[in-house]
Amino acid sequence: MSDLEAVDAPIAYHLRRYTKTDGRVLRLYGRQPHTLPVTEDLPPVDPPNPHLRWHPLRQEWVIYATHRQARTFMPPAEYCPLCPVAEGGFPGEIPFADFEVAVFPNRFPGMQADAHDPPGLGVPTAPSNGLCEVLVYTSDHEASYAALSADRQALVVQAWIDRYRDLLGESQVQFVMPFENRGEAVGVTLHHPHGQIYAFPFIPPVVERMLDGFRKTPDLRSDLLRQADDGLAVAGDDRMQALVPPFARFPFEVWILPKVFHAGPWSFDAAEIRSFATLIGKVTATYDALFDRPMPLIMLLYAAPKGAEHVFPFHVQFLPFLRDTNKRKFLAGCEQGAGTFLVDVAPEDMAGRLRDVAVTR
């Protein structure tokens, strides 16, 4: 089953919902209505039932999703499950011959809305009642976010906004985090350009600490924007700023901050959507030009958890995994065991090098 909708948003788009053979809802976002016929869908799998176990020393939940051992791992391009599927072709997640932007629930999720009956153990357990989605930026297997047109980049941002609104409307969801893992160095197993969206039934520990930090330093966002003018700026315009934070933990770490407070991108106007979308592409292209190779990185979108909309400012963090042309940033004993980062490049020098590259992008 499918339905089409013209969405009245700051930048208009069309949304098509299609119910897959296993009941998951595929959403197709486009500037034009998507009316192509269905081709070859993937067969259903047994419904997952992940659960949480409490770590008493770290005071945090650990997710157990044993079905993920069978997830797709680095398939040849011709068997990519994120590519469009021609009539009679190899089945995939998006059973249409073409699309612009697609979102669907992960086939191998770490969280499931109807997870139930966690095991009884010597530590507290709970159902892993969240949601995990995949957001595919384009039908082009060889593309990247930075290579998309400005309008397609804006459409990706609008898909994020739509999913934020829906997922935060779920009663069990407390925090939503879109992110992208880019490059095999950070564990990517599907090379088609895509990101993921996790909707957590709790506020994760890193976000709890961030929230506490924003409460204790309510002027942090404005302080960072001022410090951008003191040599930490990378790129930006009158609506958005990309900068290296003065406390960067990763070599060449970059944050993007709106110049006015937003709890999340759902309150962006059309100009902010376009500015934000373009700046993400510029930062990514700058990374790729820095060492003349695609930069493995993690991109994290941090919007306010539920109840913190007036104190937690929306921003993006880029965590790159190269510190030089052929030198990878490893998280070794000090970082993993103690949580204390060792950084080989001063933030001021990071910003200067990135800024020099950014002006040519």
In CATH terms, 2-202 corresponds, of 3.90.550.10, 3.30.460.10, 3.30.750.24, 3.30.428.10, to 3.30.428.10
Q: What integer pLDDT is reported at residue 71 of this predicted model?
A: 85
Query: Which phi and psi (to 5°) does residue 225 adopt?
Result: -65, -35
Q: Phi-psi bin for 151: left (phi > 0), alpha (psi -120 to 50), beta? A: alpha
Contacts of 158 (CB under 8 A, 6+ apart): 9, 11, 13, 29, 273
Distance (Å, whole) CA 160 – CA 153 = 11
Distance (Å, whole) CA 140 – CA 150 = 16
Cα–Cα distance list, 206 to 47, 153, 212 (Å): 29, 28, 10
Q: What integer pLDDT is reported at residue 187 of this predicted model?
A: 87
Fold of 207-358: HIT family, subunit A (3.30.428)
Contacts of 48 (CB under 8 A, 6+ apart): 65, 67, 108, 109, 112, 115
Q: Which residue bears the tokens 């009884």?
A: 120
Establish whether 141 is a catalytic residue.
Answer: no
Q: What integer pLDDT is reported at residue 1 of this predicted model?
A: 64
pTM of the model: 0.97
Q: Where along the chain do its domains lie?
A: 2-202, 207-358
Catalytic residue among 194, 262, 310, 315: 194
Q: What integer pLDDT is reported at residue 98 of this predicted model?
A: 98
Q: What integer pLDDT is reported at residue 253 of this predicted model?
A: 98
Q: What integer pLDDT is reported at residue 295 of this predicted model?
A: 97
2-202 and 207-358 in the same fold:
yes
Distance (Å, whole) CA 59 – CA 55 = 5
Q: In tens digits, what is the pLDDT along the chain, a chain of 361 residues?
A: 679 999 999 999 999 999 999 999 999 999 999 999 999 999 998 899 999 999 999 999 999 999 998 888 889 888 999 999 999 999 999 999 999 999 999 999 999 999 999 999 999 999 999 999 999 999 999 999 999 999 999 999 999 999 999 999 999 999 999 999 999 999 898 999 999 999 999 999 999 999 999 999 999 999 999 999 899 999 999 999 999 999 999 999 999 999 999 999 999 999 999 999 999 999 999 999 999 999 999 999 999 999 999 999 999 999 999 999 999 999 999 999 999 999 999 999 999 999 999 977 6
